[in-house]
Structure 1
C-alpha cells in the first residue's frame, strides 16, 4: 500500500513518520514486501505505516532503523507519533476503532466505554485510581466522553455488543448512576441502526470468554485484530490464528446470548430495579 499522493507529511507526527519511512525505504531500493520480510512483518503492514493508517510500533521502528541504517531516526519519530490522551496500552486500539468497519465487543462485568455515561465513567475511573486528584479523574472522563463521538461519525462502524448479565447488576456509582447508565444503553441501542446489544444470561453457564474483556475490530482493507484488556493493562492481538480463535469465541457468545429484543427488555428491567425506591 503506497503512501497516498495527497497525504500531507506535516499534518501530524504519524503522517511524518510514514513519509520518512517511505523515503528511507525507497532510498534503500526496497519494496514494501522486501522491507517487511527483513523486519518480520508483511508488506501490507509497512504500507499501513507509510499511509499513516497504523500507529508505528517501537520494536518495529528499532528493526527498521537497523535495516535502513537510519540510526534512531524512526525510533524518535515513533515516540512522537505514539503520543495519546488515552492510556498507553489502549492507544493503538483506540486509533484502530476509528478505522474499523465493524467492532464486536464482549464485556463480562462492565458497560463498554463507548456507551458509558459521564457519571458511570467517573465512578469507574475513581475506583481504578483511588489516590488520583480530581483533575486527573476528570481528564480521564473527558477523554472517554470524547471517544464516544465515534458513534456519530458518518463512517461509524457497526457496533455489536455482547455483555454478560452480571454487568447489569453491579451497582457502579450507586443505584441512581447505574439506572441512568442502563437507560442510556437501552436508548442508544434502540435509536442507533448500527448498534446491536445482546445480554449473555447467567443461565448460559460457562463460555469461552468467561474471564475476558475483548474487542474484535474488522476493516475493509486490512486484517482483523483483537484487543483484550484488564484493569491496568491491555494487549493488541494481530496473529491471525489467535484473532480467529477470539473471533470464534465471540461468535459462540453471540449465539448463546438473548436476542436483541429480549436483551433490551432485560436491560430495561434492570434499570427499573435500580431506580425503584
Structure 2
C-alpha cells in the first residue's frame, strides 16, 4: 500500500483529508489498526483514507471525529473531498477501480462500461437520460471512455467479463452502432492480453445474478469488494461474508457461460446479424 507520508497533502482535497486524518491519529497516539478497531473497520481501511486511495465517507468521518476529538473537522473536509465527476452512487467504485488488480463483471443487459465504444456509450446514456442536455451526455461518455483506457495501462487490471446474450441482442441506438460495438468486443476478447470475455446464453436459464450488474474487484493490499448496480442506483459492498456469497454466485455464472472460444464465435455471429438487411 502507498504510505500516507508519500502523499503530498496539497495535491487534492482528498490528500489533505488523508494528511489531517494521519495527523489527528498520531496526536492521539493510535496506530491505524487501533483506530480501525474504534470505528469498526480494519487498519488497512484507515490506511487507504490516509493515502488518499479511497474517497472519504460522511458516516466514517463522523465516527473518526468522535474518536479523535476533532469536532466536525473531518466531516467538513469530507464534503470537499467527495467531489467526483462520476454519479454519486458510482463514485467510490470508480476510485477503487483504479486500484484493482482484477475485475470480474457480470452484466445482464449491457456491454460492460470498460468495453464500450464511444457510440454505444452515447446511445445507452441518451436512452437512460432522454431529456439531458447534449453537454451532460457527452460528459458521461467522456468519463466512461477515460475509464476504459485504464485497461491499456501497464498497471491496469485483468478484466473477466461475462455478458448475457441479451446484451448482444438489445439494439442500442441503431444496427451500425451494435455492429461496431460487437466487433470491438470480439477484437478485445481475442487480442487483449488482460481481457477475458464469456457469454451466458439464453439456453443457460436464469442465472444466480439475474437482478442486475455485479462487479467484483480484488486488490494487492485490501479485501475484495463488490459493486452492484441497477437503474439510477448502485451499492458498494465490502462485508466479507456477503462478498464471498457474490463470488460464489459469480463462479456459478462463469460455469454456466460458454467457453471463451464459443463466446467469441457467438459475438462474431451476432455482429454479422447487424450487417444483414
Name the counterpart of 2:71. Answer: 71
Contact 1:64 1:74 in 2 (8 A): yes
Q: What pairs up with 1:1-277 in 2 under 5 angstroms?
A: 3-277=3-277
Distance 1:123 1:37, change over 3 A: same
User: Any idea what SS the aligned residue of 2:160 has?
Assistant: strand
Post-superposition Cα deviations, 1:84-136, rounded to whole Å, max 9, x if no partner, equal: 11111101111111100000000001000011111111111111111111111
User: Any idea what SS the aligned residue of 2:193 has?
Assistant: coil
State the alpha-carbon separation in 1 of the partners of residues 93 and 73 from structure 2: 25
Post-superposition Cα deviations, 1:42-99, rounded to whole Å, max 9, x if no partner, equal: 1221111112221111110011111112122111211222211111110111111110
The CA RMSD over aligned residues, in Å, is 1.2
State the alpha-carbon separation in 2 of the partners of residues 206 and 50 from structure 1: 43
- Structure 2-normalised TM-score? 0.97
- Structure 1-normalised TM-score? 0.97
User: Any idea what SS the aligned residue of 2:196 has?
Assistant: strand
Post-superposition Cα deviations, 1:127-186, rounded to whole Å, max 9, x if no partner, equal: 111111111111111111111111111101110000111110000112111111111111
Which segments of 5 or more consecutive residues in structure 2 lack a partner in the other structure? none
Moved more, 194-203 or 37-46: 37-46
Contact 1:2 1:50 in 2 (8 A): no
State the alpha-carbon separation in 2 of the partners of residues 158 and 132 from structure 1: 33
What's the offset of the Cα at 1:2? 8.3
What's the offset of the Cα at 1:6? 2.4
State the alpha-carbon separation in 1 of the partners of residues 139 and 206 from structure 2: 37
What's the offset of the Cα at 1:41? 1.2
User: Any idea what SS the aligned residue of 2:5 has?
Assistant: coil
Contact 1:3 1:22 in 2 (8 A): no
State the alpha-carbon separation in 2 of the partners of residues 164 and 142 from structure 1: 25
Contact 1:227 1:235 in 2 (8 A): yes
State the alpha-carbon separation in 2 of the partners of residues 204 and 80 from structure 1: 47
Contact 2:4 2:19 in 1 (8 A): no
State the alpha-carbon separation in 2 of the partners of residues 140 and 2 from structure 1: 30
